[in-house]
Amino acid sequence: MRNYTYFKPKSLAEAIDAVRESGGDILAGGTTVVDLMKIGVREPSALVDITGLTMLEGHEIGPDHIRFGALARMGHVADDKALTAAAPVMTEALWKAASPQLRNVARLGGNILQRTRCPYFRDTAYANCSKRRPGSGCAALEGGETNHHAILGGSSSCVAMYPGDWAQALIAFDADVHTRGPGGQRTIAFADLHRPPGETPEIETILQPGEIVTEITVPVVPALKASHYLKARDRESYAFATASAAVGVEMDGDVVRDARIALGGVAATPWRARAAEDSLKGKPLTEATAREAGRIAFADARPLEGSAYKTKLGADVIAGALMTAKSRANGGK
Amino acid sequence: MSCKSTPPHAGMSRRIFLGTTGAAGAAIAVGSREVSAQQPRTGVAPDAHPKIELTVNGYRRTLTVEPRTTLVEALRDTLGLTGTKIGCNLGQCGACTVLMDGRRVNSCLVLALSADGAEVTTVEGLANPDGTLHPMQTAFAEHDAFQCGYCTPGQIMSAIACIDEGHAGSADEIREYMSGNLCRCAAYPNIVAAVEAVRDRKEG
């Protein structure tokens, strides 16, 4: 790991200035940034450690919104029983991510900006990775293994998978991301935060240099209470998703009034499956309609040789998650 | 070096040991820039050797690091506390697990500068001053919860945290909350048994 200039600002304004003036990377928990620096994928000339900005910690469940500070620790939020009761998908997606040690350090703002685990992005021995070296191609598409690559939202330049879990809960429930940067404050719909790879996979979000995520808010809706995060993976625990689903339902008797479905482990960005949601609205939620929703979610999938299995697995995961959500809507666990 | 022959809290000898290695660490900084880690406006330069303060196993330590020094490197290379192991060095295996401000963390992913002011407990800090092992250390020995032993310090730190966090309710829960510590000898069944034994002793 190369040395760098290290800043530890005491205020948000100082932090924004430090990032803008140094051109450095923002450091929060460090579980992505330090990892990428060790393997040579990132070699920033400066790090701006924002963990001193304690006003960005904490979270609270309000009547209209759930607010998450950008520096709240994943583990702390995942352990909140009140949050589990109000919005199970929000804590399930956190505690199924990473190990306890990582969750104790990683912060929510950094978690949503987690970088891909694509082996060719992470291995600098490969020259062709457009996400790492713009315009250099894609080792996965050029004869590489594609077992854990995106079948939704990828491009001819990049099929790297967005690896996060919590982001799926956020996009399913219309979260907003609040930021502060050189241009002042702004609020971004979570669905607009990540950019599809297209021809510039190196640009992953719409955040500007020096723009710092300060808070994430989620509007409280009835479907949050009957929500669930189901994660399929290569082993029982501590692995990235092979396919996952963040779902929630609001029932009106036997009929679905509101449905939320987002997919992890299968797409290039956090992925909302709106057509699948719409297929359920106004209908009874049965195993058949749940399976149909799963099928619809992958209608536009472009499976690669190694990741073809994700189409069926992903549809099954959606169906399974929906049946749990339905049971929760009816007062079950 | 076994825990018995050099008890981690061996009173004066330990203080002298730490003092000596600490001085060696500080000596590295001679001739280069010694600065505080707290310089928000100009930052700590890449070639600087800032001082940080850690409370390690109850002892307050001042040490000199580089911007890129990780907590595990500071513990092992500067303070000489080599009980904490480096496995993958990428936050994947858990061998470097220590308690930082009461939370278990992978010390390979924590920058020493970020840890400035923190309270750290390593495996060397578990036994009593008289050399009596921590119940978790005893349980690991009794249940044969290791073969090669390389992952063991991290496993033990994590196991203590697992119980303290209240996540040792069942074998399944222990497996889930110990999943961040890999054991290539696959001593997992015996590790779970050791954690259950300490939990039951605490409850009983």
- Per-residue pLDDT tens over the stretch A216-244: 999 999 999 999 999 999 998 999 999 99
Q: How far apart are the first and last CA of chain B?
A: 33
Q: How far is A81 from chain B (nearest CA, A)?
A: 13
- What CA–CA distance (Å, rounded) separates A332 from B124? 47
Q: Determine what percent of chain A is predicted with pLDDT higher than 90.
A: 99
Q: Is A280 left (phi over 0), alpha (psi -120 to 50) or beta?
A: alpha
Number of CB atoms found within 10 A of residue B146's CB: 20
Indicate the angle between helix axes B188-203 and B135-142, nearest 10 degrees. Answer: 130
Number of CB atoms found within 10 A of residue B63's CB: 23
ipTM for the complex shown? 0.95
Q: How far is B111 from chain A (nearest CA, A)?
A: 8
Number of domains, chain A? 2
Q: How far is A156 from chain B (nearest CA, A)?
A: 30
Q: How far is A29 from chain B (nearest CA, A)?
A: 8
Number of domains, chain B? 2
B73 and B157 together in one domain: no
For residue A107, give every residue at least 6 positions away whose Cβ sits within 8 Å of its Cβ, in sequence order, or none: A28, A29, A51, A70, A71, A72, A73, A74
Is the CB of A104 less than 8 angstroms away from the CB of B162? no
Q: Does B114 contact A at CB distance below 8 Å?
A: yes
Residue A110 sits at φ, ψ, to 5 deg, of -70, -35
What confidence score (pLDDT) does residue B38 get? 54
Model confidence at A31: pLDDT above 50? yes
Residues of chain B found within 8 Å of residue A31, distances taken between Cβ atoms: 91, 106, 109
B60 and B111 together in one domain: yes
What confidence score (pLDDT) does residue B4 get? 34
Is the CB of A9 less than 8 angstroms away from the CB of B40? yes
Is the CB of B91 less than 8 angstroms away from the CB of A75? no
B16 and B83 together in one domain: yes
Q: Is the Cβ–Cβ distance between B40 and A7 less than 8 Å?
A: yes
pTM for the predicted model, two decimal places: 0.92
Q: Is A174 helix (H, G, I), strand (E, B) or coil?
A: coil
pLDDT digits (tens, 9 = 90+) for A255-272: 999 999 999 999 999 999
In a domain, A279, yes or no: yes
Is the CB of A105 less than 8 angstroms away from the CB of B162? no
pLDDT digits (tens, 9 = 90+) for A188-203: 999 999 999 999 999 9
CATH of the domain at B172: 1.10.150.120
Report residue B96 as tokens. Answer: 């470097």
Q: Does B158 contact A at CB distance below 8 Å?
A: yes
Is the CB of A102 less than 8 angstroms away from the CB of B91? yes
Q: Does B38 contact A at CB distance below 8 Å?
A: yes
What confidence score (pLDDT) does residue A333 get? 73
B118 and B24 together in one domain: yes
B50 and B82 together in one domain: yes
Residues of chain A found within 8 Å of residue B69, distances taken between Cβ atoms: none
Residues of chain A found within 8 Å of residue B39, distances taken between Cβ atoms: 7-8
Give how far the C-alpha of residue A232 lies from the chain's centroid of Cα atoms, to the nearest Å. Answer: 15
- What CA–CA distance (Å, rounded) separates B160 from A116? 32
CATH of the domain at A25: 3.30.43.10
Q: Determine what percent of chain A is predicted with pLDDT higher than 70.
A: 100
Any alpha helices (H) in chain B, and if so which ranges? 11-27, 71-73, 135-142, 152-164, 171-177, 188-203
Q: Is A151 helix (H, G, I), strand (E, B) or coil?
A: coil
Quick one: which of A226, A301, A292 has its CA closest to A263?
Answer: A301
B55 and B146 together in one domain: no
B107 and B160 together in one domain: no
B75 and B139 together in one domain: no
Give the pLDDT band (50/70/90) at residue A300: very high
Chain A residue with minimal CA distance to B92? A99
Sign of the alpha-carbon torsion through A84, A89, A90, A93: positive
For residue A93, give every residue at least 6 positions away whose Cβ sits within 8 Å of its Cβ, in sequence order, or none: A165, A166, A168, A169, A229, A231, A246
Residue count of chain B: 204
What confidence score (pLDDT) does residue B33 get? 46
Domain range enclosing B115: 11-88+103-125
Interface test with A, best of B32, B42, B111, B188 (most A CBs within 10 A): B111
pLDDT digits (tens, 9 = 90+) for A159-182: 999 999 999 999 999 999 999 999
In a domain, A68, yes or no: no
Residues of A with CB under 8 A from a CB of B: 1-10, 14, 18, 22, 27, 30-31, 34-35, 37-39, 45-47, 49, 51, 75, 79, 98-102, 104-105, 236-238
Q: How far is A329 from chain B (nearest CA, A)?
A: 26
Is the CB of A27 less than 8 angstroms away from the CB of B111? yes
Model confidence at A57: pLDDT above 80? yes
Select the residue of A8, A31, A45 nearest B109 (Cβ to Cβ).
A31
For residue B92, give every residue at least 6 positions away whose Cβ sits within 8 Å of its Cβ, in sequence order, or none: B182
Number of CB atoms found within 10 A of residue A202's CB: 16
Distances (CA, A) of A80 to A142, A175, B24, B108: 45, 19, 45, 27
In a domain, B191, yes or no: yes
Distances (CA, A) of A128 to A33, A131, A137, A149, A152: 21, 9, 5, 16, 21
In a domain, B1, yes or no: no
The secondary structure of residue B10, as a DSSP letter, is: -
In a domain, A156, yes or no: no
Q: State the Cα angle at A214 between A209 and A220, rounded to 5°.
A: 130
Domain range enclosing A318: 222-329
- What CA–CA distance (Å, rounded) separates B166 from B176? 12
B18 and B113 together in one domain: yes
Residues of chain B found within 8 Å of residue A34, distances taken between Cβ atoms: 70, 91, 109-111
Residues of chain B found within 8 Å of residue A104, distances taken between Cβ atoms: 103-105
Is the CB of A34 less than 8 angstroms away from the CB of B70? yes
B116 and B168 together in one domain: no
Residues of chain A found within 8 Å of residue B106, distances taken between Cβ atoms: 31, 99, 101-102, 105
Number of DSSP helices (H) and strands (E) in chain B, helices first: 6, 5
CATH of the domain at B59: 3.10.20.30
Residues of chain B found within 8 Å of residue A51, distances taken between Cβ atoms: 114
On average, the pLDDT of chain A sits at 97
Select the residue of A22, A38, A75 nearest B90 (Cβ to Cβ).
A38
What confidence score (pLDDT) does residue B203 get? 75
Select the residue of B37, B44, B180 nearest A99 (Cβ to Cβ).
B180
In a domain, B162, yes or no: yes
In a domain, A41, yes or no: yes
Interface test with B, best of A101, A231, A234 (most B CBs within 10 A): A101
- What CA–CA distance (Å, rounded) separates B143 from B69? 36
B55 and B118 together in one domain: yes
B152 and B111 together in one domain: no
Q: What mean pLDDT comes out for the span A26-48?
A: 97
Give the pLDDT band (50/70/90) at residue A332: confident
Sign of the alpha-carbon torsion through B129, B132, B138, B141: positive
Give how far the C-alpha of residue B150 lies from the chain's centroid of Cα atoms, to the nearest Å. Answer: 13
What confidence score (pLDDT) does residue B13 get? 36
- What CA–CA distance (Å, rounded) separates B30 from B64? 10
Q: Which amino acid is at B187?
A: A
Q: State the Cα angle at A96 between A261 and A329, rounded to 5°.
A: 45
- What CA–CA distance (Å, rounded) separates A284 from A275? 16
- What CA–CA distance (Å, rounded) separates A291 from A330? 20
In a domain, B183, yes or no: yes
Residues of chain B found within 8 Å of residue A4, distances taken between Cβ atoms: 46, 67-68
Q: Is the Cβ–Cβ distance between A68 and A59 less than 8 Å?
A: yes
pLDDT digits (tens, 9 = 90+) for A81-123: 999 999 999 999 999 999 999 999 999 999 999 999 999 999 9
Q: Is the Cβ–Cβ distance between B12 and B19 less than 8 Å?
A: no
Q: Does B91 contact A at CB distance below 8 Å?
A: yes
Among A33, A52, A71, give the residue marking a domain's end. A52
Q: What is the pLDDT along chain B (204 residues), one digit of tens a residue?
A: 333 333 343 333 333 333 333 333 333 333 344 455 555 567 999 999 999 999 999 999 999 999 999 999 999 999 999 999 999 999 999 999 999 999 999 999 999 999 999 999 999 999 999 999 999 999 999 999 999 999 999 999 999 999 999 999 999 999 999 999 999 999 999 999 999 999 999 876
Quick one: which of A214, A211, A197, A187 has its CA closest to A271?
Answer: A197
